[in-house]
Amino acid sequence: LYTVMLVTCYSEGEEGLRTTMDSLSNTAYSKDHKIFFVIADGLITGAGEERSTPDILVDMLDIDTSMDNPKPCSYIAVATGEKQLNMAKVYAGHYNGVPCIAVIKCGTEEEQQGPKAGNRGKRDSQVILMSFFQRVLLNDRLTELDYEIFWKMTWLMKGVTPDKFETVLMVDADTKVLPDALTYMVAAMANDITIMGLCGETRIANKSETWVTAIQVFEYYISHHYAKAFESLFGMVTCLPGCFSMYRIKAPKHGGWVPILANPDIVLEYNQSIVRTLHEKNLLLLGEDRFLSTLMIRTFPKRQMMFVPQARCRTVVPDTLGVLLSQRRRWINSTVHNLMELVLVSDLCGIACLSMQFSVFVDLIGTLVLPAAIVMSIYLIIQAATSTNPEWQSLGLLLAILFLPAVLIAMTTFKVAYIGWLIIYICALPIWNMLLPLYSFWHFDDFSWGATRVVRGEKTNQGHGDGSGKFDSKRITLKTWQAWEADR
């Protein structure tokens, strides 16, 4: 299957970009059937960096001399006001012999002198790809940016047009993909055409860096081998992580094709610019990756979302409590709101208490009552230690719940080290079940990205899509592919 490898970057340095792109280019998958699609979200310079991320990215590529100075192309961005108009440059070249399209969002002439020119957010980067494939597959009118991507992609792939691509691997620019991961993921897609999305296992690259990274090791492990593996039995993984997931662009049906990720219903809802309610803001501004999974399930409830444990990647996790709080605030709040959406989807598989809908409901209640659960657990332990007649049955159940994951380790991996990570995780349960949920619920109306991505010279975390003024639609050109070809 022809596969697009989408890498979204913001403020990463050369080391982070090279780690990701080297790992993807070295995957054991035919270079003739994969292409990089790297999107730099604005002219951003990361903290501690000398050059901007787009400059670093362009210097890394082997760009054909005839295409080393592309013109800025207009497109409709996910934003409000005058920021709905954005410009981007499309570079075409190779990285380690793999074809590569690099889209650099550079902003309009009016915003060139301002901070973060061209920055519109990760969701906008994903929508560039999704709306491009939607217009190509449905033979719709293309924007100037769409056509620029189309002909350069076709040229790079030596005549293979974009409508031949069936899958897209979405990876963040701080993730290292293992060599056989892409092969496993594409094989799963090829073996079962009902699979519309899947994810692999994400492991931690900086396990022993600080106590904050150490407490996350086992949490990552059980979130995949407990939660995602269980949901995968139903064929309904509720959250495909944005750092390492694969989606089907189109699926074969009755001798033809049906758009999946490029489906107009999904693209239109994911492309919302005007977000007013607290619920919508938590869905679209904080957890766009999880919301994309929710949209896919809601639109195609009979298709499958799977977990493929053989496909693995490594990522760098927060190493200080402040950054962890910032990250988990976004994750927990978006989780609650996405589960509220999924509970309302009535045609998920199963019936009554043996249904995916009931499982989602239990997950939602479990997330909300975590702080109360840890308080009661601590009370039970104290009561058992001080009482002359402790509740042995309750205490036994508590200990079984805490240490049963050790049985999972024995069944799925023979690494004794994970027992150590389990003990560290149990010691940190007050943080996971008390501090993080309470902090998240208290900041339910905080929609900033927080401290996860630091930009040089930025004092406040401003919204990337909040624009004043009025959108001038006359500056956007939409033409059919045939009309663009005639003008070229």
Q: Is the pLDDT of residue 222 over 60?
A: yes
What is the rounded CA–CA span in Å between residue 163 and residue 89? 22
Q: Which fold has domain 3-207+232-318?
A: Spore Coat Polysaccharide Biosynthesis Protein SpsA; Chain A (3.90.550)
Q: Is the pLDDT of residue 488 over 80?
A: no
Residue 156: pLDDT band by 50, 70, 90 thresholds? very high
pLDDT tens, 91-111? 999 999 999 999 999 988 888
pLDDT tens, 304-328? 999 999 999 999 999 999 999 999 9
pLDDT tens, 64-76? 887 888 999 999 9
pLDDT tens, 382-426? 888 888 888 888 888 888 888 887 777 777 777 778 888 989 999
Q: Is the pLDDT of residue 451 over 90?
A: no
The structural domains of the chain, with segments of one domain joined by +, span: 3-207+232-318
What's the confidence (pLDDT) of residue 324? 94
| Whether the model pTM is above 0.85 | yes
Q: How far from the centroid of its chain's Cα atoms is residue 273's Cα?
A: 19
Mean pLDDT of the chain: 88
Residue 131: pLDDT band by 50, 70, 90 thresholds? very high
Q: Is the pLDDT of residue 452 over 70?
A: no
Task: Say which residue the tokens 């054909």 belong to.
Answer: 64
